[in-house]
């Protein structure tokens, strides 16, 4: 099984893949899985030093080429910078894993941070999808993984704006799956449940259950080119399908109750003047 999925990835999407948010969490796990399949990698994140350490490790372990592009996708021209930095490479796969979220009361949030989240989760994603979609269409094939979330299927009180950004990702990916298919370009929305990637600690959330990045990366890569959306891991399916028959207003209230209990410590910190947290 392992050899088959690796061969499929390289044959369909090689020889180069771009991974944003590659320094930690799901992005990091995706990078290692692609390296196993012998795809050369462009790793992008804000943490240049971490990326360089990863590059050395991946090149030594798998004998691939790795290019590092230290970049903050919240900046206005960041997506253009990444596109330009890869112009000389035959890129066939984009893993758009960069993103961050906040939790807590919307009115207590910091507007500047919320706009930064909008820029990373939506504006940069839009640009990268357009740039690399153009390139993949011209080369006659390629693939894009856009990271959605189970919170993007309905409103999410106490994570209102974060859920809204993920709804944007989800609907964009669903549409591009149909539009780009005739051009040989595969698109998938990966919509996991809460995942252990540092988000909970920084956002002041307490999660009793969570996925590991490995629970998300491998199933997502396996499903790319085969379906428009994947709910990776049992927890993602359980939390989504258990609500699917309820009216949307009921789902919003239930999910709000879940987030309310997960963010009580964070809201207590707000009362002390510590503000909302987040993670890239």
Distance CA 7, CA 102 (A): 38
Dihedral, CA atoms, 40, 29, 20, 73, nearest 10 degrees?
A: -150
- What would the pLDDT profile of 133-166 be if each residue is shown by its tens digit? 999 999 999 999 999 999 999 988 999 999 999 9
SS3 state of residue 19:
strand
CATH of 2-279, one of 3.30.565.10, 1.10.287.370, 3.40.640.10, 3.40.50.720: 3.40.50.720
- Give the distance, in angstroms, between the CA of residue 245 and the centroid of all CA atoms in the same chain: 27
- pLDDT tens string 43-72: 999 999 999 999 999 999 999 999 999 999
Cis peptide before 15 (omega within 30 of 0): yes
The shares of helix, strand and coil residues in the chain, as percent rounded to the nearest 5, are 55, 15, 30
Q: Let me know: does 105 contact 52? Beta carbons within 8 Å.
A: no
Sequence-distant (6+) residues with CB within 8 A of 226 are none
**H helix count then E strand count, the chain:** 12, 9
Banded model confidence at residue 275, pLDDT cuts 50, 70, 90: very low
Residue 138 near residue 91, CB atoms below 8 Å: no
The model's pLDDT over 6-24, given as tens digits with 9 standing for 90+, comes to 999 999 998 999 999 999 9
Express each pLDDT in 211-267 by its tens digit: 889 989 999 999 999 999 999 877 777 777 677 777 877 777 777 777 777 666 554
Contact 233, 211 (CB under 8 A): yes
- Active site (catalytic) residues: 162, 166
Return the sign of the alpha-carbon dihedral for residues 258, 264, 267, 271. Answer: positive
| Residue 51 DSSP SS3 | helix
């Amino acid at each position: 099984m392992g050899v088959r999925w690796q061969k499929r990835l390289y044959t369909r999407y090689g020889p180069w893949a771009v991974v944003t948010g590659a320094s930690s969490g799901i992005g990091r796990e995706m990078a290692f899985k692609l390296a196993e399949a012998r795809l050369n990698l462009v790793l992008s994140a804000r943490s240049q030093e971490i990326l360089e350490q990863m590059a050395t490790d991946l090149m030594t372990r798998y004998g691939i080429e790795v290019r590092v592009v230290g970049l903050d996708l919240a900046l206005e021209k960041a997506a253009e910078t990444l596109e330009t930095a890869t112009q000389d490479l035959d890129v066939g796969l984009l893993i758009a894993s960069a993103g961050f979220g906040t939790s807590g009361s919307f009115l207590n949030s910091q507007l500047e941070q919320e706009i930064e989240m909008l820029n990373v989760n939506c504006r940069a994603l839009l640009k990268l999808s357009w740039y690399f979609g153009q390139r993949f269409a011209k080369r006659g094939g390629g693939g894009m993984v856009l990271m959605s979330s189970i919170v993007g299927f309905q409103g999410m009180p106490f994570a209102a704006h974060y859920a809204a950004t993920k709804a944007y990702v989800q609907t964009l990916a669903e549409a591009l799956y149909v539009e780009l298919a005739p051009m040989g370009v595969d698109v998938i929305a990966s919509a996991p449940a809460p995942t252990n990637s540092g988000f909970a600690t920084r956002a002041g959330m307490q999660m009793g259950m969570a996925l590991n990045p490995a629970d998300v990366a491998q199933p997502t890569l396996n499903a790319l080119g085969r379906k428009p959306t994947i709910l990776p891991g049992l927890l993602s399916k359980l939390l989504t399908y258990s609500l699917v028959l309820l009216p949307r207003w009921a789902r919003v209230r239930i999910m709000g109750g879940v987030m309310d209990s997960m963010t009580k410590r964070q809201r207590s910190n707000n009362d002390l003047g510590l503000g909302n947290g987040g993670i890239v």
